[in-house]
Amino acid sequence: MPQSTHRRLAMSATLIAALAGVLAPATAASAAPAAPTAPTAPTAPTAPTAPTAPSAPAPDMDGVTTALNAAMANGAPGAMARFTGPEGVRTRTAGVRDRVSGEAMDTRARFRIGSVSKTFSSVVLLQLVDEGKLELDAPVNRYLPGLLPDDRITVRHLLTHRSGLADYTEAMFAKTVPGFEAVRNRVFTYQELVGLSLAEPRTTEPGAAYKYSNTNFVVVGMLIEKAAGTPVAEQYERRIIKPLKLRHTSYVHPEARIKGTHVRGYLHPDEAGAPLVDSTEQTASWAQTAGAVISDPADLNTFTTALMRGKLLSPRMLDAMTTVTPTDTTQTRFYGLGLRRYDLSCGTQVYGHTGTVQGYYTYAFATRDGRRALSAMANTSNKGAANTALGGTLEAAFCGKKPAPATPSAKTSAKASRALPALPAEADLPEHR
């Protein structure tokens, strides 16, 4: 992501580090109220003592629109974004949410958020860890005896995609439309999905390497149900949806419809020029705790900002969740526990997740201080260029307007463009399959 943008390396790493030190966002721990200080005798007028927020660039909403239009130019019928920041909320839409009725994209409409669901699952699991019901570094088989063929796979390996359990969705969706039609009405048990993964060779030794796999978060769902003793739907509801009053967020597996005003999703077949497939109604049973949550842009921003502000997890668990390792060699993309971190061209780090289910691409990210958040969606999939273009909303929203380029000579600009190659799209995203 940041894929569509250039990394601006003009600012040296040392300068970025120095600025990060000065402008360090409040962590959940440091945001704790300060101990009261003794009142001082009134003196001459003093400068206001209220803490001043570190200045952040205003979102470039024209840039957001450009990214939404680029998603449409790359095959999305519509796209939208919602930015929440200290100055309030700004939304942008493009195109349609329904190709048949022609209704315009609508930022109050619900959609399938795909793997952003992984962050929801991770929050629930980490709350259970905090309650002493599970340990992050304990073997999964301690809680689910005999489930996995290797006692060395830990709970943390699942959350960091380091278990080596093969991603069963790669074979399932090797042929996009036939793969989707074969499962759109199916209801899988967790065991069946894990069984599909275990029928394939494992990809790495436990803990050895990052390898994104939906299987990990299916096992997370099993762990949640085992430790909590109730269905995951109830756990999402009680621990996230109710406390944050997320009125348009639900986990209705295996119900295939999306309630209320919603965006219709359109899947691109593999065959160039073939008509789009309306993929709105599906059980999403192939994804479950790895990707079956439904939400809307306002709820997603509420979720990511609350998470970053420490409203869902203890400081210890939030620290664990935001402790990341690289997902590739660009040094801009990282993964924590069910959470991505992207380092943007302006040095700002944002935490959240991406999502892809048939017909829907999603981004939901917030800054570490929880003061700014962006969610964006395009109602298409199996069209990597549309997802890459949609990712441009992050740069525009969090980095603001790029300074107008000086007009360098042709020679220097050629040199500059060689020095700043566009980043390839993240290897995890399904457009690479």
Between 287 and 317, name the residue whose CB sits nearer to ligand REX: 287
Report the nearest approach of ligand REX to the CB of residue 148 (Å). Answer: 20
Identify the CA nearest to 301 among candidates 160, 90, 93, 159: 90
Report the nearest approach of ligand REX to the CB of residue 129 (Å). Answer: 22
The values of phi and psi at residue 376, to 5°, are -145, 145
Report the nearest approach of ligand REX to the CB of residue 228 (Å). Answer: 22
Task: Reduce the secondary structure of the chain to three states and give it as a string.
Answer: CCCCCECCCCCCHHHHHHHHHHCCCCCCCCCCCCCCCCCCCCCCCCCCCCCCCCCCCCCCHHHHHHHHHHHHHCCCCEEEEEEEECCEEEEEEEEECCCCCCCECCCCCEEECCCHHHHHHHHHHHHHHHCCCCCCCCEHHHHCCCCCCCCCCEHHHHHCCCCCCCCCHHHHCCCHHHHHHHHCCCCCCHHHHHHHHHCCCCCCCCCCCCCCCHHHHHHHHHHHHHHHCCCHHHHHHHHHHCCCCCCCCECCCCCCCCCCCECCCEECCCCCCCCCEECCCCCCCCCHHHCCCEECHHHHHHHHHHHHCCCCCCHHHHHHHCCCEECCCCCCEEECCCCEEEECCCCCEEEEEEEEECCEEEEEEEECCCCCEEEEEECEECCHHHHHHHHHHHHHHHHCCCCCCCCCCHHHHHHHHHHCCECCCCCCCHHHC
Between 121 and 382, name the residue whose CB sits nearer to ligand REX: 382
Between 179 and 221, name the residue whose CB sits nearer to ligand REX: 179
Report the nearest approach of ligand REX to the CB of residue 127 (Å). Answer: 22
Between 369 and 428, name the residue whose CB sits nearer to ligand REX: 428
Between 28 and 423, name the residue whose CB sits nearer to ligand REX: 423
Which residues neighbour 103 within 8 Å (Cβ) at sequence distance 6 or greater? Answer: 96, 97
Between 302 and 327, name the residue whose CB sits nearer to ligand REX: 327
Report the nearest approach of ligand REX to the CB of residue 253 (Å). Answer: 13
Report the nearest approach of ligand REX to the CB of residue 171 (Å). Answer: 10
Between 382 and 388, name the residue whose CB sits nearer to ligand REX: 382
Report the nearest approach of ligand REX to the CB of residue 339 (Å). Answer: 11
Q: How far apart are CA 31 and CA 15, in angstroms?
A: 25
Q: How many Å is the Cα radius of gyration of the chain?
A: 22
Catalytic residues: 115
Report the nearest approach of ligand REX to the CB of residue 311 (Å). Answer: 24
Q: How far apart are CA 182 and CA 369, in angstroms?
A: 43
Between 282 and 322, name the residue whose CB sits nearer to ligand REX: 282
Residues of the shown chain interacting with ligand REX in the complex, contacts defined by CB under 6 A = 114-115, 169, 173, 176, 179, 212, 214, 267, 287, 290-291, 354-358, 381-382, 428-430, 433
